[in-house]
Structure 1
Amino acid sequence: MMINILVICLALLIGNLRFVVCQQTNYNCAVKESQANTTEKLSQLRARMKSLSLYAYIIFSEDEHRSEYVQQQDTRRAWITGFLGPVRSAVVTLDHAALWIDDQYWAQAENELDCANWLLMRQGEPGVLELSDWVASSPVQRTKAVKNPTEQKGMRDCGVRDSVARVRHLMWLENEIKNNRQVNETQAAERLEYYQSLETYFKEISFLTISAVGAHAATIHFQPNAETAAQITKDKVYLLDAGAQYLDGTTDVTRTHTFGTPTAEEKKAYTLVLQGKH
């Protein structure tokens, strides 16, 4: 499987066909038959790293004398990555492996580097960290991803309370629309914050609520304006992306609602996105 760090993919499952639409980053590259297979080499290296309590191992292109042109027995970086061209350094951590390459060697790397196991760090491209910064950030992210029992309980508990607020908000909204009382995007967002504020340990919303009707729902990070807010109606899809900061955790929930009879096109779009999330 290709390693896609920070790659946003939407998988659309239609019948027996699978279509994947990805926003490419400057870290990933496509797997090709011409590339080396370093799976076993990385596995052995990581086993040795674990035995020595190491998290990251840096492999330089130079030999111990810092010579750029090295003897065959010193081509450690080429051996572990599969990439034969000149390059600065490679890093193997317990979770990932990354190779930093200048732009003149990108094409060669895409044909030789084991992209099934390695990240291709295209130097100079937006979002590509320097080697030292990348190594420093990895253990921090790894540590933050591990939650202790108290944090886990807080996440579950605040999720339950926030869900209560969301259900109360949805019941209120359905009732308003059913009784033909007008509610626009900003009013709906404000009412949700009110219900969230009634819950224990509430501090504030975790980000500006995305309350979007119809075409507004297709705008990334749409922010409603009180003066131009659209009305929530039975014949338009309503997107609500909201969260709250509680003392024991933070929530972020996105839901798509319809208060009438959805069209065939809306059903299809909703189903494809739902399938893509699984």
Structure 2
Amino acid sequence: MSIPEKLTNLRAKMAEKGIDAYIVPTADFHQSEYVGEYFKARKYITGFSGSAGTAVITKDEARLWTDGRYFIQAAKQLEGTTVELMKMGEPGVPELTAYLEDILKEGDTLGFDGRVVSVGEGQEYADIAAKKGAKVEYHEDLIDLIWEDRPELSKAPAFSLGIEYAGESAADKLKRTREEMEKAGANAHVLTTLDDICWTLNIRGDDIEFFPLLLSYAIIKMDCMELYVDESKLDDDIKASLAELNVNLHPYNDIYEDIRTLDENTVVMVDPSKLNYALYNNIPENVKRVEERNPAILMKAMKNPVEIENIRKAQIKDSVAHVRFMKWLKENVGKMKITEMSATEKLDELRAEMGNFIRPSFEPIASYGEHGAIVHYTSSPETDVELKEGSFFLTDTGAGFWEGSTDVTRTYALGEVTQQMKDDFTLVAISNLQLGSAKFLEGCTGMVLDILSRKPFWDRNMNFNHGTGHGVGYLLNIHEGPAGFRWRYRKGETEVLREGMVITDEPGIYIEGSHGIRLENELLCCKGEKNEYGQFMYFDAITLIPMDLDAINPDIMTAEDKKLLNDYHKKVYDTISPYLNDEEKEWLAKYTRAI
């Protein structure tokens, strides 16, 4: 069925239900960034497959809002669909809320499935509707009524993460959470975010492709925890460990009715940004609500010593695999057929050889030539191309090892590339190294430091249209809040940088129709010297893979830039070479030589 036909069917259901505008976000019931196949309603109704975007369908038009990572991809995927692309943040493009305020008329009804919209978003939509004399209908999943072959919810089994990997028991995590509840004056905490629940209980699942998460809801009380999950996914060992924690099991969707039964003595702690609108509205009016950020968000972002030790091991494994991959790629391109997809498979084969490899940690981005300009390009059998000399190959991929998750981007010059390409590559390397070398006082946020990565671009009247870095979860979400690097304020992503946080550093250049370059290291936030000026902090680059010297132009680098690159490459060689054979060591020495 074509997208225009699906839109026709949806509009028929809208007319039947008296809905004038219908919102379809990219979300599941848990405010997840990436969602399982069952929840890909926005992709179904628009054809756009990116991880971020919101569609609004009215009787006469359909529009899709997405950010700069997806402008090129969305433009191509929306061709012929009648869905209009709204490029967020671009001049002349109204925000989604402004658009709603413009089109809603008195007596209209604005519809959405309240389970896939956060409390904050739902309240904003309701306020706009009230302002225009319209009303909100959030009980209808209209996409479900027309999606005849909708995939089923996952039935994949869960698994436990042992203390040798987690570094802290679930009992201790619950204790810390309850201490935060007590400080807030709450005796119950409603938790719906999958990574927070999995982190708290030291369990993982397989309900979202690439991300080891378990579909679940939870209510943490002072003496027990109510867990809403498909019990068939839990083996006897997991059930026994949960019972020891006084965790009571309930069917997955029962929380919507159970939460209505909370009595007036309950004080519920909720995070409006991490709770869906429908569940929030089922909390009885006589139950007091305390709005606080989920305590687990900051707790899990600050990795404990065991996690950090494991993460370093995972990064060494991934770096060894990448060095071997880079050598293989350089030596074989043009001699054998290598495509975007086959190269990705080769990299994962090398990762698997390192041991304890579970799966890729997110959908791989492997883009040759002009595909590299699509920030979140995904190769497919329809778009897969052969790698040839004369351009760049960008690979943004990750590995899920038992020791932790990785997120790494490298761009490789295949054969000789143009001087402009080398200059672009060198600029990205300078940006990456400048941010990675930051020394700063405790209390800084990523917004303060982002200028270090942007300045080399802004000095040349250039920019890259995405954030510079994000937190990384431990076998959880690869994009993890609350800290990151970006120059614009974004609520919930501007946390003070703290010891133990792992954050990516990934500037890029994207030249449509030609090439794309991104270089991404993971940085561990560490404490440095403490003196009369305060506690100083610094970053330790834990990704240890060469930045391709075949694409570096030393002539546009300062002495400081060259020193940063040389120091980084010395660290790469010293750390990774002991894991290589003699031939590989010799090759690595060439690609980490001082310039």
Alignment TM-score, normalising by the size of structure 1: 0.50
Q: Write out aligned runs for 1:214-233 (5 A).
A: 214-233=369-388
In structure 2, what is the equivalent of residue 240 of structure 1? Answer: 395
Q: For 1:233, give the aligned amino acid.
A: K
Which structure has more relative contact order (CA 8 Å, sep 6+)? It is: 1
Q: Distance in 2 between matches of 1:276 and 1:171?
A: 25
Q: 1:136 aligns with which of 287, 293, 306?
A: 293
In structure 1, what is the equivalent of residue 427 of structure 2? Answer: 272
Q: For 2:310, give the aligned amino acid.
A: G
In structure 1, what is the equivalent of residue 353 of structure 2? Answer: 198
Alignment of 1:251 with 2:406, yes or no, is yes
Partner secondary structure for residue 136 of structure 1: coil
Q: Distance in 2 between matches of 1:191 and 1:264?
A: 29
Q: What RMSD over aligned residues (CA atoms) do the two structures have, in Å?
A: 3.3
Of 216-225 and 263-272, the range deviating more from structure 2: 263-272
In structure 1, what is the equivalent of residue 318 of structure 2? Answer: 162
Q: Distance in 1 between matches of 2:407 and 2:327?
A: 20
Q: Distance in 2 between matches of 1:133 and 1:265?
A: 55
| Runs of 4+ residues over 6 Å off in structure 1 | none
Q: 1:204, CA displacement in angstroms? A: 0.7
- Whether the 8 Å CA contact 2:340–2:384 is kept in 1: the answer is yes
Q: 2:366 aligns with which of 190, 211, 214?
A: 211
Q: Sequence identity, in percent? A: 30
- Whether the 8 Å CA contact 2:340–2:379 is kept in 1: the answer is yes
Q: Distance in 1 between matches of 2:322 and 2:426?
A: 22
Q: Write out aligned runs for 1:29-44 (5 A).
A: none
Q: Distance in 1 between matches of 2:315 and 2:373?
A: 26
Q: 1:231, CA displacement in angstroms? A: 1.3
Q: 1:148, CA displacement in angstroms? A: 1.4
**For residues 42-75 of structure 1, what are the alpha-carbon distances to aligned partners after superposition, in whole Å with 9 as ceiling and x for unaligned?**
xxxxxxxxxxx99x99xxxxxxxxxxxxxxxxxx
Aligned residues: 160
Q: Write out aligned runs for 1:79-94 (5 A).
A: none
Alignment of 1:172 with 2:336, yes or no, is no
Q: 1:238, CA displacement in angstroms? A: 0.6
Q: Distance in 1 between matches of 2:299 and 2:428?
A: 31
Partner secondary structure for residue 208 of structure 1: coil
Q: For 1:195, give the aligned amino acid.
A: L
Q: 1:259, CA displacement in angstroms? A: 2.0
Partner secondary structure for residue 292 of structure 2: helix
Q: 1:133, CA displacement in angstroms? A: 9.0
Q: 2:338 aligns with which of 165, 183, 186?
A: 183
Q: Distance in 1 between matches of 2:298 and 2:379?
A: 36
Q: 2:306 aligns with which of 123, 131, 150?
A: 150
Q: What runs of 5+ residues in structure 1 fail to find an aligned partner?
A: 1-7, 9-22, 27-52, 58-127
Q: For 1:164, give the aligned amino acid.
A: V
Q: 1:264, CA displacement in angstroms? A: 1.9
Partner secondary structure for residue 170 of structure 1: helix
Q: For 1:170, give the aligned amino acid.
A: M
Q: 1:134, CA displacement in angstroms? A: 7.2
Q: For 1:173, give the aligned amino acid.
A: L
- Whether the 8 Å CA contact 2:391–2:416 is kept in 1: the answer is no
Partner secondary structure for residue 181 of structure 1: coil
Shift in alpha-carbon separation, 1:134–1:223, aligned structure 2, 3 A: farther
Partner secondary structure for residue 192 of structure 1: helix
**For residues 56-102 of structure 1, what are the alpha-carbon distances to aligned partners after superposition, in whole Å with 9 as ceiling and x for unaligned?**
99xxxxxxxxxxxxxxxxxxxxxxxxxxxxxxxxxxxxxxxxxxxxx
